[in-house]
Amino acid sequence: MTTAALGSAGTWTTAAHAQAPASAAGKPVILVLGDSLSAEYGLKRGEGWVPLLEKRLAQQKIAATVVNASISGDTSSGGRARFPSLLTQHKPSLVVLELGANDALRGLPLADTESNLLQITKAAQAAGAKVLIVGIQVPPNYGGDYTRRFEAVFSKVAGATRSALVPFLLKGVADAPDALSLFQADRIHPTAAAQPQLLDNVWPELRKLLPK
């Protein structure tokens, strides 16, 4: 989502501070490529679902390095453009791909979003990384047809590449009875209180891709 709208066993590394390859420590690298939903927009450092993931890995004694390469406002095309250098720098074993929401907000062609996500996924797989695609949904005011076609983009890419899929990152938040209380004042970005639910949505599929 945009900055104006929506945009131990582990080591927490942000894209801005990760200069050396995170794989240098010998641990498998989990690279999160996302937008503001993964970049802690409007939250204090450490409150977002990605740093909570790092804590869960430590608690479960799963050796992995988490690199958060998420940028508020990023689109699928932006992620595609910067992904090659991230692959080279971090050499991830697992890529968590959480992009596409800003494409919808900007009214970008769904075919372009699908193509970008597909190319990112294929590039990751060609480099030997597993991919977890994290889906997002748009509100019904976008129209029923657009809402259905946008939601289908993520499952289509996952199916075409045989990748793991989280259908809806905000499940249990956007559709909760008290949904309004789980969002910041912009009614788009989840609050700190909602972040554990986001992690719980991602974790079951992510855990399957990690070493036993």
Select from 72, 94, 85 the least CA-distant residue to 18: 85
Per-residue pLDDT of the chain (212 residues; tens, 9 = 90+): 433 333 333 333 444 334 344 444 578 999 999 999 999 999 999 999 999 999 999 999 999 999 999 999 999 999 999 999 999 999 999 999 999 999 999 989 999 999 999 999 999 999 999 999 999 998 888 888 999 999 999 999 999 999 999 999 999 999 999 999 999 999 999 999 999 999 999 999 999 999 87
Rounded to the nearest 5°, which phi and psi values hold at 144?
-60, -45
CA 14 to CA 7: how far, in whole Å? 17
On whether the CB atoms of residues 76 and 117 are closer than 8 A, the answer is: yes
The one catalytic residue in 35, 36, 72, 74 is 36
On whether the CB atoms of residues 21 and 164 are closer than 8 A, the answer is: no
Rounded to the nearest 5°, which phi and psi values hold at 116?
-65, -45
The one catalytic residue in 74, 76, 163, 189 is 189
186 labelled catalytic: yes
200 labelled catalytic: no
The one catalytic residue in 112, 115, 186, 200 is 186
17 labelled catalytic: no
On whether the CB atoms of residues 94 and 22 are closer than 8 A, the answer is: no
The whole-model pTM stands at 0.89
